[in-house]
Chain A
């Protein structure tokens, strides 16, 4: 089936505006992650959804960032009052979460949304 789909692929916005990024995970994947990758840097964890459990929001950098997920489907990451330091590639990934797999459940990444705040 289709892989993880993210939209838009590129977004340019003015400082102070709100943006919404979308992620469509692979069908059947119960776990969904958002990461941020600044230019030349590693992956910064933002938020993790697992089924109907409360999300792990420990990576969100400020209260301007929020994310939602409806059931086991689409997720949206919202950044309010964007700042220039928010410029980065925002990556979404999904995975199965099934202990019957014996601990093997790799992440499948989307191609990311490149956000540029001017």
Chain B
């Protein structure tokens, strides 16, 4: 069945460092891919999405490219800020097979000044 695997944390970076959080997926169809973010004390919210191969999702300086050949959707940011400290979840969904959402286990990011 469909599934998502993301790198385990926690990840600790200094401010302005480069961030990569790896995410790979397994899917029988052609899913949409998402990154969700959970800031401390808040609910999950959509960070970015990509709906087909080679699409690049971007938001708040974060980017992720839908790579069908490597079944990956790695999250990147060139220069992290303290305010980016949060838990990041990779997820997939395929409307054509029922719209079930599959989440990774989450990666905790802490950015230190």
State whether A42 touches B43 (Cβ < 8 A): no
* CB contact list, A91-118 vs B, under 8 A: 91, 93, 95, 97-99, 101-112
18 extra interface residue pairs, beta carbon distance < 8 Å, beyond A45-B101, A99-B95, A108-B46: A42-B104, A43-B89, A43-B103, A45-B103, A56-B98, A56-B100, A91-B44, A93-B44, A95-B101, A103-B31, A103-B52, A103-B93, A103-B94, A104-B32, A105-B95, A107-B93, A109-B43, A112-B43
Beta-carbon nearest neighbor of B48 in chain A = A106
Interface residues on B, range: 20 to 34
Binding site for B on A (CB under 8 A): 31, 33, 35, 41-43, 45, 48, 50, 56, 91, 93, 95, 97-99, 101-112
Partner of A105, one of B52, B89, B93: B93
Given known contacts A97-B99, A111-B43, A112-B43, A42 and B106 CB-to-CB distance under 8 angstroms: yes
Distance in Å: Cβ of A112 to nearest Cβ of chain B: 6
Beta-carbon nearest neighbor of B31 in chain A = A103
Docked complex Cα distance between A98 and B31 (Å): 14
Given known contacts A91-B43, A111-B42, A112-B43, A42 and B89 CB-to-CB distance under 8 angstroms: yes
Docked complex Cα distance between A98 and B95 (Å): 7
* CB contact list, B19-49 vs A, under 8 A: 30-32, 34, 36, 42-46, 49
18 A–B contacts, CB within 8 A, in A order:
A35-B103, A41-B106, A45-B102, A48-B100, A50-B99, A91-B44, A98-B95, A102-B51, A102-B52, A103-B51, A103-B94, A104-B51, A105-B93, A105-B99, A107-B91, A107-B101, A109-B45, A111-B42
- Asked whether any CB of chain A lies closer than 8 Å to the CB of B58, the reply is no
State whether A50 touches B98 (Cβ < 8 A): yes
Distance in Å: Cβ of A93 to nearest Cβ of chain B: 8
